[in-house]
Structure formats: C-alpha cells, structure tokens
C-alpha cells in the first residue's frame, strides 16, 4: 500500500532495492562511513535522507540536482547525471546491508547543500 508520506520518486513502495538515476530527482553525495558518521553527527536534525550501504561501507546524502557539481571535497564523491544509486525500500531502516540510516519523507528527503558542504569541509579536510 503506497504511503502518502513517501517522496514521489520512491513510489510505488516495494520489497526490493531499486537502482535509480542520479541527477533527475536528486544528486547523491557518497562518503566513506567513518567520515559519514561524523558528518551525520555534525548535521544532526539538519540532515535529510541518508542511505547506508553496510556492506560497502558508505553513506549517501540526497541533495537537489546540480547543487554539488563544483564541489571538490575528497573523499566524498558527487553522483549526478550518468550515475545510479541503489535505493532501499522505504521500510528498510535497519542493517545489515543497504538501508535508510535516515528515512525520507515527502517533505524531507534532501539535505541542504550548504550545510552538507560545510560539514564535509569541516570533517574531511585537514
């Protein structure tokens, strides 16, 4: 049964992981889990949805398309047009494997790019 609280791109809800194109509804910022957990703590309630790949050791933040095209903040990788991201079903909020560390809602799925960029620079740059 579809949830009206889910973002449109996450409907219909299903039991399987789906691969979705970045650059259409969102871009993704991929960060190794060690730095990602520090960024998540720094952002606190200012974070939007976050996907955690428990086997790959990475976190993905979703931001508005095109907002990070010029960012250079290694080890973060910006995934925009031409990239794809594995997206877990909305109900999968637990490890192991691919899950929502912070689940999306219809009104809160993007992280503010300025806040995420500042956190990346603070956490990942010497």
Cα–Cα distance measured from residue 27 to residue 22, given in angstroms and rounded to the nearest whole number: 5
Q: What would the pLDDT profile of 103-119 be if each residue is shown by its tens digit?
A: 988 778 899 999 999 99
Structural contact between residues 43 and 80, judged by C-beta atoms closer than 8 angstroms:
no
Query: Does the pTM of the predicted model rise above 0.75?
Result: yes
Q: What would the pLDDT profile of 62-78 be if each residue is shown by its tens digit?
A: 999 999 999 999 999 99
Q: Give the pLDDT band of residue 1 (cuts 50, 70, 90).
A: very low
pLDDT of residue 126 exceeding 90: no
Check the CA dihedral 91-96-99-100 and report its sign: positive
Q: Give the pLDDT band of residue 6 (cuts 50, 70, 90).
A: low
């Amino acid at each position: 049964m579809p949830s009206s609280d889910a973002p449109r791109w996450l409907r219909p809800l299903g039991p399987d992981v789906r691969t979705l194109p970045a650059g259409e509804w969102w871009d993704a910022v991929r960060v190794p889990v060690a730095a990602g957990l520090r960024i998540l703590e720094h952002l606190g309630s200012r974070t939007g949805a976050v996907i955690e790949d428990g086997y790959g050791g990475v976190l993905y933040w979703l931001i508005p398309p095109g907002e990070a095209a010029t960012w250079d903040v290694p080890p973060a990788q910006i995934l925009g047009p031409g990239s794809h991201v594995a997206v877990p079903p909305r109900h999968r909020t637990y490890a192991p494997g691919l899950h929502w560390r912070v689940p999306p809602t219809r009104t809160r799925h993007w992280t503010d790019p300025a806040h995420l960029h500042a956190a990346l620079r603070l956490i990942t740059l010497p």
